[in-house]
């Protein structure tokens, strides 16, 4: 677990701040310090300013801490009710898929679900296809889900 540096550290994930640390910078070899700063800036930061690579223990702790109870319901819903489909005409609309999920799992904040799915690479997108029943080109907003072991695919309800 990452440490919080405080003046009065008491918890297991807290460490004491060394008050004269900045004063000792001048004593250390300036070229080594400059090199370390460059490594940090060039190799360990992304555009958002986050340090990479994030240690595996930190990733697992964050995922465990941020895991919502409804995520298990979503996983069960995907396994039991959704299947991939390659054709737009066979795919259910995004609204149909959402409604089916929210009917099965009442009381869930819709915004949180949308944000979690987007973070996993799932999304809604407009697809154009030829509708045989009307003999016209039409557009459908379909839901794309990233299935385990496979790529992203449009979905249909079973």
- For 17-65, how does the pLDDT look when each residue is reduced to its tens digit (9 = 90+)? 877 777 777 776 777 777 777 777 766 666 666 666 677 887 788 777 7
**Contact indicator for 143, 124 with CB cutoff of 8 Å:** yes
- The angle that helices 94-104 and 70-81 make with each other, rounded to 10 degrees, is 120
Q: How far is CA 143 from the centre of its chain?
A: 17
Report, in angstroms and rounded to the nearest whole number, the Rg of the chain calculated over CA atoms.
24
Encode pLDDT of 64-122 as tens digits. Answer: 777 777 777 877 888 888 888 888 888 888 888 888 888 887 777 777 777 766 666 67
- The DSSP symbol for 141 reads E
**Contact indicator for 145, 158 with CB cutoff of 8 Å:** no
């Amino acid at each position: 677990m990452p440490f919080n540096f405080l003046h009065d550290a008491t918890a297991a994930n807290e460490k004491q701040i060394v008050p004269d640390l900045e004063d000792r910078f001048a004593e250390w070899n300036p070229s080594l310090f400059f090199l370390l700063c460059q490594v940090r800036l060039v190799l360990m930061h992304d555009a958002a300013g986050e340090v990479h690579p994030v240690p595996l223990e930190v990733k697992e702790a964050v995922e465990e801490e941020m895991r919502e109870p409804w995520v298990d319901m979503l996983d069960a819903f995907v396994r039991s009710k959704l299947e991939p489909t390659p054709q737009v005409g066979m795919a259910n609309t995004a609204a149909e898929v959402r409604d089916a999920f929210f009917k099965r799992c009442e009381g869930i904040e819709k915004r949180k679900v949308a944000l979690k799915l987007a973070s996993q690479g799932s999304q809604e997108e407009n697809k154009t296809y030829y509708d045989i029943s009307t003999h016209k080109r039409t557009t459908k907003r379909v839901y794309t889900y990233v299935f385990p072991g496979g790529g992203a695919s449009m979905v249909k309800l079973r």
